Structure 1
Amino acid sequence: MITYEYGTTLLHQLDPRSKLLVQFGFAFAAVTTTEPAALVTLTLLAIVALTLARLSVFRVLWTYRFVLLLLGLAPLFASLKFGSPWIALEQAPPSILAGYQVVLVLFISAAYVKTTPVRETRAAIQRHVPGKAGQLLGVGVGLVFRFFPVLLRDVRRARLALRARGGDVLSTRERVRRLSLLTIEQAFSRGERLALALRARCFSWNPTLPQLAFTAPDYLFVVIGLVLVGWGVLQV
């Protein structure tokens, strides 16, 4: 699981708002682009982002391996037809293209997550989405970033525990049933402890968030983000 890691890279020093703009512009350009040359350019930009974040392509691919499995099966399902000739291979290329576009967006998202503290993301959201809606969205994003990796670790531990107790001899259905029940039980338990911890720490809807300020590199990234947004608009 890719989470925030302290660092001194260029991406770590950027304001989260400039990175969010680049991420939005890149995603918009990626999903609207079908030209091979444009996809190559976006691929190079994604690799540059991973390099600046000191992330390897293989680590990102391994982290999102289940998503990639679903994306790999999508062309197969897209080619199936209910009736003769049963398989329509002409439907596969659009599905493959869409899957590749998603992978590019995952690369940029991974670079953002690794280089941006959760509190800074929350600060960026709450300062640009007014009222309770911004507070609720900021809190939700913060909890997802912190809570989801914990749930994934619980699932891994549950799988190891089931395997250590001879779960490999059980049928696939029984393994899935036991793992699902155990995972749901642990998720509710985590939720109760999280609620108690929030009350114990006097949880505030409007805490003192970190100050955000643009530096010189941020303006360059804002320009890059706007260029990507414009590029996506031209492709529509």
Structure 2
Amino acid sequence: MLSYHPGDSFAHRLDPRTKLLAQAAFAVAAFAHTTPRGLAVLTVVTGAFLAAGRLSPWRALVGYLPALPFLVAGPLVSIVEVRAWTVGIDPAAAVGPVLASYRVLLILFVSAVYLHTTPVRDSRAAIQRLVPGRAGRLLGVGVALVFRFLPLLRADLGRIRDASAARLGRERPLRERMQIVASAGLRRAFDRADQLALALRARCFAWNPTLPALRFARRDVVGLFVAVALVSAVLL
């Protein structure tokens, strides 16, 4: 699971607000230029993002492994044609879905760089400064909780599957195995939620915590330039 890893890369030293703006600009550019030429250019830009964060493409791909079947399923489903009780295959129909899936994959790679190089507290501070008022504080808390506890829930599911396999769970029908993992995973998620609520009350949870100070530096000019260039590519 992708999460923050301390480091000294160029992306690690950028202000989180700069990274958020660059990530949003990349997503806008990707949706505006979903063509072979546009995606080829964006692939080079994605490589620059990965290099700035010292994150290997393979590690980013493994981190988003659960999403890959959906990206592959779209083009496969699109080539099937049903006409008057007959089923045919039209490979040309997969061009658009393939480009769309590759576009999403590039956006996921760029977001992986952000997750890899940005602490959760910095993400919360950046969101609360970009979105003013109580809405920003609520959004910041939500993002922080998701970043912290989604890896825990995924690890819980992995342990549940391993425990089921150790008890000859693989001998059971697939439907029964899915039911066991899902029910145990939900119980564990509710337990996590109860523990979280208790921990928040014990620590006198407040809407206005002391967050890390964020400051733009000279190196952020590079990130802002990339964001402006991507937005300009969309407008022009």
Q: CA deviation at 1:220?
A: 1.9
Give the equivalent residue in structure 2 for 1:60. 60
The one-character-per-residue Cα deviations of 1:158-215 (angstroms, maximum 9, x if unpaired) are 0000000100100000000100000000000000001111111111111011111110
Report the Cα distance in structure 2 between the residues aligned to 1:233 and 1:196, rounded to whole angstroms. Answer: 49
Give the equivalent residue in structure 1 for 2:49. 49
CA contact (8 A) 1:21 1:226 kept: no
Q: CA deviation at 1:4?
A: 0.5
Give the equivalent residue in structure 2 for 1:189. 191
TM-score, with normalisation over the residues of structure 2?
0.95
The amino acid across from 1:41 in the alignment is: V
Give the equivalent residue in structure 1 for 2:138. 136
Q: CA deviation at 1:114?
A: 0.6
Report the Cα distance in structure 1 between the residues aligned to 2:175 and 2:72, rounded to whole angstroms. Answer: 24
Aligned-residue CA RMSD in angstroms?
1.3
Report the Cα distance in structure 2 between the residues aligned to 1:73 and 1:27, rounded to whole angstroms. Answer: 22
Report the Cα distance in structure 2 between the residues aligned to 1:137 and 1:118, rounded to whole angstroms. Answer: 13
Report the Cα distance in structure 2 between the residues aligned to 1:31 and 1:134, rounded to whole angstroms. Answer: 26
Report the Cα distance in structure 2 between the residues aligned to 1:224 and 1:76, rounded to whole angstroms. Answer: 34
User: Number of aligned pairs?
Assistant: 234
Give the equivalent residue in structure 2 for 1:150. 152
Map 1:1-236 → 2, pairs under 5 A: 1-84=1-84, 86-234=88-236
Larger RCO: Structure 1 or Structure 2 (Cα < 8 Å, ≥ 6 residues apart)? 1
- For residue 8 of structure 1, give the secondary structure of its aligned residue in structure 2: coil
Report the Cα distance in structure 1 between the residues aligned to 2:72 and 2:113, rounded to whole angstroms. Answer: 23
Which stretches in structure 1 are left out of the alignment for 5+ residues? none
The amino acid across from 2:2 in the alignment is: I
- For residue 213 of structure 1, give the secondary structure of its aligned residue in structure 2: coil
